[in-house]
Amino acid sequence: MTTDEIATPGKIIAVHLNYRSRAAQRGRTPAAPSYFLKPSSSVAATGGTLERPAGTELLAFEGEIALVIGEPARRVSPDDGWTHVASVTAANDFGLYDLRAADKGSNVRSKGGDGFTPLGPRAIPAAAVDPAGLRVRTWVNGALVQDDTSDTLLFPFGQLIADLSQLMTLETGDVILTGTPAGSSVVVPGDVVEVEVDAPDAPGTPSSGRLVTTITEGTVSFGDFGTKPAVDDLQREEAWGSREAAGLPAAEPGFELTDDLRERLAGVGVATLSVALRKRGYHDIFIEGVSANHDGDRLVGRAKTLRFIPFRPDLFASHGGGFNAQKRAFDTVLPGEVLVVEARGERGTGTVGDVLALRAQVRGAAGIVTDGGVRDFDAVRGFEIPVFSQGAHPSVLGRRHVPWETDVTVACGGAAVQPGDVIVGDGDGVIVIPPALVEEVLAEAETQEREDAWVADQVASGASVDGLFPMNAEWRARYEQAQGRNS
């Protein structure tokens, strides 16, 4: 087909986030696809120009695979979704970050401008390709900047069609923009953007050809009768893909739980750390009522949080099934993180079982802390991963809990826990340390434990604790002298 044979669609539906590479770049992985609409007036053909509106700076390209619907689809299954695709072609889902705030999430103006959806130049018959064997590539001024394949999609084409057709009829000629991979960035007047979709392993290597768009500078400014374009450094960073690409200074380095800090934290007791925290006014940093599933377990890591709410049938029906918040938390925990689960102190049901605990272990999690119960307790105790809980209970979530959300501030065992807080556990229990306090609290705790060890040696040698514990001036002088001899 030529570009003239790709009819103007009745509706254009675009997927927000669908490639694993893009999700990694954005730092979030959706549990289900989400969408927005683009007007048919945004369609443009290859070889055209696209005006960056006067007074704006962040026009970004997004090379995509476009699906053109053939047979209308209404309430079809994911397995049958692809059969309703007539053809695929290249698309460029241009967007203007300067108007994102004005749209409040709808993308009406930021992505709906005239010419913001080039399509073509040729359509590839769907029957000629494997839906998992398509490739999308984008070039800017001849340099390859995007290169990914449809086998890395979070949500395959058939699932998108099935999902959308639950609510609306996808009609002949409708277009679905299936998401962009990593590499999207900003273009400026004079840049030439090219997008191509092909099937490199299919007979004859069918291709859409290069979809070419040249960026020009607009001359008509926005009027005073609507929200005007506006950007900040966060928008610049997202549009360009990084602070460096946006020409912004490097962000201030945040706290890092280094291997050295982990080892040092593992070498001091929770009780000693809690004393140092109390001196600084942090009294409710103890996760009450939990104990380890193995004697002698120690736990050090940064918190990844999961929150349960009380059971309610309608909420469990909407949030309890599928890839729910509980499964997402255990499936995305990073090496060295501690899963901290808010269960409201409800021990009358399980909040983690053997399969999810094993998943966390395989992903390299440093441990699990829940102020609720553990299902399959004996099996979980057989794993290496430390699990601190209120003990065993055979019931599943639907008895007392609804898995609600992840990566939010939670209240676990009476302690406030934020994502990224440092969690330390041993036989005395589990505490929460704000990252900004880790180094000073740790240094004080190490000093205290050296003193305590010396005091214990004196007691073991027959000394009375009177004046020694805590040390009076005389014993302090002896300690300082001993430290000097050992230095």
Query: Number of H helices and number of E strands within the chain?
Result: 13, 27
Return the closest-CA partner of residue 85 out of 201, 155, 171.
171
**Tens-place pLDDT, residues 163-210:** 999 999 999 999 999 999 999 999 999 999 999 999 999 999 999 999
| Predicted pLDDT of residue 487 | 41
Q: Which residues pair with 198 in a beta bridge?
A: 135, 207
pLDDT at 3 over 80: no
**Tens-place pLDDT, residues 337-390:** 999 999 999 989 999 999 999 999 999 999 999 999 999 999 999 999 999 999
For each of the domains in the chain, give its residue range(s) and CATH number, in order of start.
Answer: 3-240 (3.90.850.10), 284-433 (3.50.30.40), 450-486 (no CATH)
**Tens-place pLDDT, residues 83-133:** 999 999 999 999 999 998 888 778 999 999 999 999 999 999 999 999 999
pLDDT-derived band at 482, boundaries 50, 70, 90: confident
| Predicted pLDDT of residue 125 | 96
| Predicted pLDDT of residue 476 | 86
| Predicted pLDDT of residue 105 | 75
Within 8 A by CB and 6+ apart from 428, the residues are 269, 270, 271
| Predicted pLDDT of residue 4 | 42
**Tens-place pLDDT, residues 276-330:** 999 999 999 999 999 999 999 999 999 999 999 999 999 999 888 888 999 989 9
Contact in structure between 275 and 312 (CB atoms under 8 Å): no
**Tens-place pLDDT, residues 211-230:** 999 999 999 999 988 888 99
Q: Residue length, the chain?
A: 487
Give the burial string for 16-39 (b: 16+ CB within 10 Å, else e). ebbbeebbebeeeebeebeebebe
| Predicted pLDDT of residue 485 | 53
Give the burial string for 227-251 (b: 16+ CB within 10 Å, else e). eebebeeebbbbbbbeeeebeeeee
Cα–Cα distance for residue pair 458/467, rounded to 1 Å? 12
Pairing of strands 59-60, 95-96: antiparallel
Instruction: Write down the mean pLDDT value for the chain.
Output: 92
**Tens-place pLDDT, residues 34-76:** 999 999 999 998 889 999 999 999 999 999 999 999 999 999 9
* pTM across the whole model: 0.59
